[in-house]
Structure formats: structure tokens, C-alpha cells
Amino acid sequence: MEEACPAGGSPALPTKDRQLAGRGDTGFQPAGAFFRRLPALRRSEWVLIAYLTYSAGVAVLRPVSPTVRAVTLLTNLLVLACYALVAYAGSREEGLLLGVSRDWFPFFLLLLAYREMGWFALPYPGHPLEQTWVVWDRMALRGGLRAAIECLGPLLPSLLEICYTLVYALGPFAVAMLYCYRARERVDGFLTVLALGVLLCYAQFPLWPSEPPRTVFPGQDFPTYDTIFRRFNWWLLRGYGMHTSVFPSAHVAGAFSAALGMRGALRQHPWVWRLLLALAILIATATVYGRYHYLADATAGLAMALAATALYRGLSTFPRKKA
């Protein structure tokens, strides 16, 4: 039975239709309405979930050992289950402890993503990519780059090695600065840019099988000064390096993504992102000078950071639930 028409008004909608109209539900929902209906997860968490799903697919399709496949699938499934619980908790009321945990948990997942991609390494014949890339390195290093870096003795080489080590601390430092300046609500934006920059590199590793120049071309174009900082980095890479790929450089992408992410997250205090940008330039130089990466890797890493910034701006056009 239709409801009575109010005096002097238009016909009343049935109760169900009024409820749908009040919620804005129509046959063709706009993109904003779709994103508002997603679980209460942050943008950075959606990026991580997408990558872990991709990584699980790589484990299934790539001819890796059954152990690697099983461990990858189980690990990623557990992480996704954790995020399902986070989404449930976030849809109710998020406490301070949970919120702070979500600010820092992505750093653990980025490390996990790095280790997983290292498990996917497969033997491959020859080094065709490296033979091409090293030509550009020799042009740069022998054309004056190495001489310019070593003009002051071991001073600049030591500084570059220290900066290369610090790449792992840039993300936590940036989040700490956001805390210090009482801008914790901007942590997710920063983490989204950082995660996109790093994971865009990891996602491509299976497509570009390659080894670093320090192993493919041992002793060639190495730095003159073997500092204690360089020996520490070599020790670190012997235990935690990967042999899946070096292209694009996740070190360079992560460093520049941190700088660009903070440029957007903390514009009121530009010294932070400018410091990170200076460190990113030094890190990119260190990767080539120290023979950790090729010049092509570093350039591609910078491109991934710029792409991550552009992608974040695109994602920011969609409204989302507060998480």
C-alpha cells in the first residue's frame, strides 16, 4: 500500500526508498561511495595488502621450492588475517595503542616484502642486463665521478657509506618527526608514498633478474678507500642481501619517497624533507660509487619515487573512512 501524500507536497516515497535515498544508495554508485564502503583500513594498508596478494601470486606461479611457496602463502595469509581484525577494530573505536601500532607495523611488512622477494631468486644464464648497465657506470665513474668523490681522501667516501647505511632509518625518522610536530594524522599519507615507492621496485624484481656490480664485476671500478663503514655495509649485505634483482633500486626509491612524502606531510617544517632529500641524493650516489647498484638502477629508483608520489595524489582524490 502506498503512503499518503502530504498536504501540499509531492507523493511520499515508500519507507525503503526513503532509507535508500537517505544513504545516497542508487543503482549507479559514484566512486566515492564505493570507497566509503570499504573496510576501515588506511591507504598505506591497502597498498601493503595489494602487494602481499601479488607476492602470493608470484609464489604460486614462479618455479620456487615447495617450502618457499608454502611459507610465503602462510605468512601472507596471516598478515591479511591480522589486517581483517584491524579493519574490524577500526570500524568500531580505535584506541591509541592500536593506532600507534598501525603507524609502525608497515616498516616490519616492508622488511618482510624484501625477504620474500629474496626467496624468489632463480638461477639465470649469463648477465646480459648487467653487461649493458655497466657501460654507463664506467662512463660516469671513469669520466670524473670517482675522482671527484675521492678528491678529499676518505672523507666523502666515508660519508657516502654512512648515508647508505642510514637508508633503513629514514622512514622511522620521518614518522618520529611527524609525532614531534603533533602531526600524527599525516602518518598514513607519508607511509603510503613510502610503501608505493619501495613496493613498486620489489614488484618488478622477478621481471629483471640481475646481480649487483660488486658480484658480477668483482674488483672493477671499486672505490680506492676501503673504510670501516664500507666493510660494515658489505658485512650487512652478505647476511641480508638478495639475488633476485637490483633493478630498480629500492634503496634509492625508498630514500626519495621518504623525502617526497615528507614534503607533502610536513610542509610547515621544510627542513625535514630537505634533509631527507639531501640524504637521498647522497644515498643514490653511494649506490653507484660503492658498486651496490648500477646507474640504471638508481635512475629507475628515482622514477619509482616520482611515480609513487603521483599515484598517491591520484588515490587522495577518493574519500575514505577514517581509520
Tens-place pLDDT, residues 75-117: 999 999 999 888 887 666 667 888 899 999 999 999 999 999 9
Provide the 10 A C-beta neighbour count for residue 276. Answer: 25
Handedness of CA 57, 61, 64, 67 (dihedral sign): positive
The answer as to whether 5 is a domain residue is: no
The answer as to whether 228 is a domain residue is: yes
Note down the domain range covering 228.
38-315
Listed residue (187, 170, 191, 169) closest to 178, CA to CA = 187
The answer as to whether 10 is a domain residue is: no
The answer as to whether 1 is a domain residue is: no
The answer as to whether 25 is a domain residue is: no
The answer as to whether 28 is a domain residue is: no
The answer as to whether 56 is a domain residue is: yes
How does pLDDT run across 9-46, given as a tens digit for each residue? Answer: 444 444 444 443 444 443 334 444 444 545 578 999 99
For residue 147, which amino acid is it? A
Domain count, the chain: 1
Is residue 212 pLDDT above 70, yes or no?
yes
**This prediction's pTM:** 0.84
The answer as to whether 123 is a domain residue is: yes
Is the preceding peptide bond at 248 cis, omega within 30 degrees of 0?
Answer: yes
